[in-house]
Structure 1
Amino acid sequence: MEPSTLVLAEILLLALITVESGGAFLVRVAAGGVPANDLQKSWYRAGHAHAAVLLVLSLAILAFADHLDVPTWVDWIARSGVPVAAILMPAGSFLSVLGKNPEKPNRLSLLIGLSAASLTAGLLAVGIGAIATGAGNA
């Protein structure tokens, strides 16, 4: 693994600790220790789940990243698209329902759309890059 890829993998592994603390928060919400309405509970769960899945997916993508023979800007999107989505999606899920008994998500829910765009760009870059490079044949 390239040194820069290894550093990113280490950061992503440490970021999983935030998912762990999010799980502890969800336990407190479920136990009634943190007041939350049904909207908040569902958005908190979605944010937590997406954070975990996208961080693990980010780690898996790094296995391909070092084998891509693509322009630098494509390589950058391939390496950063999914990790950026792993930050934006849960941020949008949690921050858009903050407050006391919100009835609907606030404008920060736009972060979820930005996350989807980042996720799509990252997956396209690594997927097409891997096919074009023949990374599966290495």
Structure 2
Amino acid sequence: MLELSESARITAGIVLLTIVGIESGGFFLLRIATGGVAATDFQKTFYRAGHAHAGVLVTLGLLCLALAGATSLTGLWYWLGASGVLISAILLPGGFFFSAMGAGRTEPNGLKVLFPAGAIFLAAGVVTLAVGLLTA
């Protein structure tokens, strides 16, 4: 049986609840696809990418959270290995959605800065966790 720390268990429960938000994003995409919400081709592409990244990264983040308990990582390193992907699951989809918001937008706004921040957390989280697993 998988055993999670108290904080990992609570984090996992909260993250699972975010899936309802991802699901509502799917409904929003359906409304765009059926013409219920106007969006430019750029916005459609970015909204689809944001939705896909959210689902994949939340799933991977939950796996990383569970796997972190099998390492000997501590402190900041444990937090990064357990939560880095979950942080990227906020930043990367946020970059896609928030940088595409606004009527008639055809290119990303200033919130595109969320992309490199999310990419850094994703890479740092998976590399830290991988090193922790390989050295445990």
Considering the TM-score relative to the shorter chain, is it more than 0.5? yes
| Structure 2 match to 1:2 | 5
TM-score (norm 2): 0.94
Q: 1:7-28, CA deviations, whole angstroms, 9 ceiling, x for partnerless residues?
A: 1110110011110000000000
In structure 2, how many angstroms separate the alpha carbons of the residues matched to 1:97 and 1:86?
A: 17
State whether structure 2 residue 124 is matched by structure 1 residue 121: yes
State whether structure 2 residue 52 is matched by structure 1 residue 76: no
Task: Compute the RMSD of aligned alpha carbons.
Answer: 0.8
Q: 1:68-102, CA deviations, whole angstroms, 9 ceiling, x for partnerless residues?
A: 11231100111121011000111110110111111
Task: Give 4+ residue runs of structure 1 displaced > 4 Å after superposition.
Answer: none
TM-score (norm 1): 0.93
Length, aligned pairs only? 133
Q: Unaligned regions of 5+ residues in structure 2, if any?
A: none
| Structure 2 match to 1:30 | 33
Identity of aligned residues (%): 42
Amino acid at match of 2:95: G
Q: How does 1:4-23 map to 2 (within 5 A)?
A: 4-23=7-26
Q: Unaligned regions of 5+ residues in structure 1, if any?
A: 134-138
**Cα contact 2:50–2:92 (8 A) shared by 1:** yes
State whether structure 2 residue 103 is matched by structure 1 residue 100: yes
| Structure 1 match to 2:51 | 48
In structure 2, how many angstroms separate the alpha carbons of the residues matched to 1:122 and 1:14?
A: 22
